[in-house]
Amino acid sequence: MYLTSDGRQSQRVSRPVDSVLIIDDEEDLLDMLKAVVSTLGYEVTTASDVDTAEGILTRRGTRAFQCVLTDYKMPGRNGLELLRWLKHFDADLAIIVNTGYASHEDVSAMIREGAADILKKPVQMDILRQALTHAVKQTRVSRRRASAEKAVLQVGVVQSYMLRITGIRDIPWVGFYSRPVHQAGGDFVSSFPREGGGELLIMADVAGHNLDAAYISAFFHGAVHGMARAGLSSQSMVNEINRFLLSKWNDRDLGDSADQAPEASVCALFIEVDGTRETMVCHNNGLPTPVLTLPEARTSFIGMGNCPLGLYDDPETCVTRIDGAKGASLLCYSDGLEDFARAQRISPLALACRLHFASDAERDEILAEADDDVMVMRLCMADCGEDAFFPILADSYPGDTYQQIDAVEDGWARSIQYAIPDILDEKLYSILLTAREAVINATLHGCGGDPEKAADFHVHYSPKLKLLRIMARDPGQGYDDDFLTAAEPDMEKERHSGLVLIRNFPDRVWTERRNATVFAEFSLI
């Protein structure tokens, strides 16, 4: 019995006694150690050699013990061999080696193999007590951690199962890949069939990437599932989730110590696709801007996501409607992909492209160093075939970019090589030189070098067709020279050597708007 802080008597919950297995071939020493360790409050089991110790550990299970204290030099097998055997079966059980003879090499080997402590015979009582206390604690912490890791794994299994039952992987026109940093995370996607053969796709990223994020994510998708079944519109669902987060979850004072749960916000992208798959409506709150690619390899960013849900009364949802999207594709991803691409100094589109066409094993390898959950989804609208172009780069450069063109070109090279690892050096040279000339032309001449103006530069790739297409577009008026068909370059005009390169290095070149938009195509076969 013991007294609680308010003076009531309470039944003490007795803690199980920690068990120690002691191994030593010297009978007298073994008896003495047994007596001493028992005096310190441990339940003791003894063995006179390694084989007997292994038999006990096998029979009773390693988890019956919190520590093993073994002699090093014994007839037959030694303490190091027991250490190796034990670490193979139970890496969490701490083992102390008690030795009078070990060489420097032996001690090094024991440390390498994971001995919790190495004691020198004859061991003093205080030192033995400290070593046992520390080793038992180490075993407990280690077992607790292993148990927590197992629980996390289990959550990951549940989340993977939930992803399967959402049906997202069964939709043939949706490519989807998700990899949490841990076994489970806050990125998640759901799909719900809508009337008329349409589909509602919801991509969400809960702040954080721990188990709490996975839990909130599951709640979010469950709530949305219910609302979708009740026929609510995307905007109504957005409003409801925002209201719930603000009025329930986040409605508390900062520093309220009784409530340790973190504030929650959810980045969410709702995509309503109609039955013909020619129209889609996106409601975006906080996810990176989706990337729309039209069949002729033209990319635009649609609907910047503003802020996540759960922060303000007005969610300021960005709504974008796209009609006549036949042949188009929509690429959506979480901010974890952007962060990882930035760390790799490549375009997020290049990373998305690489992931999209990689096997699951390759994807896991690529993202092994990612610090955040990564999720990518690509929707193929009606008639968007396997030969469709995938964006690798879609950037906009201020008019003075020609001054830093070398650094910009390095970024292109990294992104293109990342997205297409097997590209030949010769092809890459042709692409980079053409791109360099086109972007210098667009910024220096098309923008007049004015940093307030900008030129667009896009790179698309079709793995099926093995074609890479670049586009440089400036806001200028263009010019009349028909450089594509001129019989001979006029070398007196400085600009012409750049145009000559643009005309000759690609396999196909065409222009629009009096040459203010230049397209160049390269066969990678």
The nearest distance, CB 446 to another protein, in angstroms, is 15
Q: Among residues 171 and 405, whose Cβ is nearest to another protein?
A: 405
**What 3-state class would DSSP assign to 288?**
coil
The nearest distance, CB 413 to another protein, in angstroms, is 8
**What 3-state class would DSSP assign to 492?**
coil
Cβ atoms of 424 and 444 within 8 Å: the answer is no
The nearest distance, CB 437 to another protein, in angstroms, is 5
Handedness of CA 249, 254, 258, 262 (dihedral sign): positive
Single-letter amino acid, residue 246: L
Q: Among residues 333 and 402, whose Cβ is nearest to another protein?
A: 402
At which residue do the structure tokens 């550990």 appear?
Answer: 57
DSSP lists the bridge partners of residue 179 as 374
Q: Among residues 258 and 491, whose Cβ is nearest to another protein?
A: 491
CA–CA gap between residue 191 and residue 50 (Å, rounded): 59
Q: Among residues 221 and 436, whose Cβ is nearest to another protein?
A: 436
The nearest distance, CB 478 to another protein, in angstroms, is 18
The nearest distance, CB 144 to another protein, in angstroms, is 53
Give me the residues that bind another protein (CB under 8 A), please.
Answer: 402-403, 405-406, 409-410, 413, 426, 429-430, 432-433, 436-437, 440, 488-489, 491, 494, 497-498, 500-501, 503-505
The nearest distance, CB 427 to another protein, in angstroms, is 10
Q: Among residues 60 and 508, whose Cβ is nearest to another protein?
A: 508
**What 3-state class would DSSP assign to 326?**
coil
Pick from 36, 59, 146, 50: nearest CA to 95: 50
Pick from 205, 149, 181, 208: nearest CA to 368: 181
The nearest distance, CB 115 to another protein, in angstroms, is 52
Residue 489 CA, distance from chain mean position = 50
- In order of 436, 438, 474, 518, the CA distances from 300 in angstroms are 21, 19, 15, 17
CA max distance for the chain: 104
**What 3-state class would DSSP assign to 301?**
strand
Q: Among residues 109 and 501, whose Cβ is nearest to another protein?
A: 501
CA–CA gap between residue 138 and residue 94 (Å, rounded): 7
CA–CA gap between residue 2 and residue 158 (Å, rounded): 42
Q: Among residues 134 and 495, whose Cβ is nearest to another protein?
A: 495
Burial class (CB in 10 A: 0-12, 13-18, 19+), 295: middle
The nearest distance, CB 410 to another protein, in angstroms, is 7
Q: Among residues 292 and 423, whose Cβ is nearest to another protein?
A: 423
